[in-house]
Amino acid sequence: MIDLEKFDADELLALARLDVEKERFDEALAKLKQARARQDAPAIISELGRVYVRLGLRQRAKQAFEAVLARDPAAVNDRFQLGLIHFELGDRAQALSLWQEVLGKAPLHPPAIYYSALALAQSGQVLQAYDLCRTLVEKVQPDNLFVGRAKELLQKIESDPKFRKIEAERPLAGATSTTEH
């Protein structure tokens, strides 16, 4: 084991990120905790939250992301991650609320669009889910991981007879009424 005392906080953060890439989470966690003891910076706390997610420690991850957002409300990726934790814990409404905030700041944030669509589809709001998936497929680079996932979700939605009935009844965008008054 290396002597972590020899490194300052930003060096420990960089080394921890390398450990995460190599899936050495125990070593990453040790370095991040040491770095946080020296400097309570949002980047360190955010990385710590990501390691907690990978370790399945959702409550600790939630606390880490909340701490980052308390200091930096504009931290889009941390807000997305917090939403993902809420989603995994079964709180779709809170997840969707967080992801709406993400999309307000970054309208084409692929993971927020996809997971919002997934949560909406699971809640029975298939038209909204469909529209989000279409947005993702049409406006994001086709090689993006979430575009592929959106295409799969679109296929599931389109194959649902309930969706086909709702879609058939949906008014056309831009249609005008022909009724005279």
Q: Which two tokens stand for residue 38?
A: 């020296």
Does the residue 86 lie in any domain? no
Res 27: pLDDT: 95
Domain range for 55 is: 1-73
Look at residue 176 and give its three-state secondary structure. coil
Does the pLDDT of residue 170 top 90, yes or no? no
Only one residue has tokens 């969706």, namely 163
Same domain (yes/no): 53, 96: no
- Under DSSP, the state recorded for 54 is H
In a domain, 55, yes or no: yes
* Cβ–Cβ < 8 Å for 112, 103: yes
> Are 108 and 158 within one domain?
yes
Q: Which of 4-8, 109-113, 115-119, 127-131 has the lowest mean pLDDT?
A: 4-8
- pLDDT confidence of residue 2: 74
Q: Is the pLDDT of residue 94 over 80?
A: yes
- How far apart CA 26 and CA 55 sit, in angstroms, is 9
Cα separation, 167 vs 77, whole angstroms: 33
Residues 59 and 116 in one domain: no
Compute how many other C-beta atoms are within 10 angstroms of the C-beta atom of residue 125. Answer: 15
For residue 139, give both structure tokens: 């406006």
Q: How many domains does the chain have?
A: 2
Computed over its alpha carbons, how large is the radius of gyration of the chain? 21
Reported as a single tens digit per residue, the pLDDT across 46-64 is: 999 999 999 999 999 999 9
User: What CATH number did the domain enclosing 130 receive?
Assistant: 1.25.40
Q: Is residue 7 part of a domain?
A: yes
Please give the Cα distance from 18 to 53 (Å, whole number): 17
What's the CA gap between 174 and 65, in Å, rounded?
41
Query: Which CATH number covers residue 18?
Result: 1.25.40.10
Q: Residue for token digits 């070593």?
A: 27
* Same domain, yes or no: 64 and 100: no
Q: Is residue 82 part of a domain?
A: no
Q: Which of 16, 42, 73 is the last residue of a domain?
A: 73
The rounded percent of the chain whose pLDDT value lies above 90 is 82
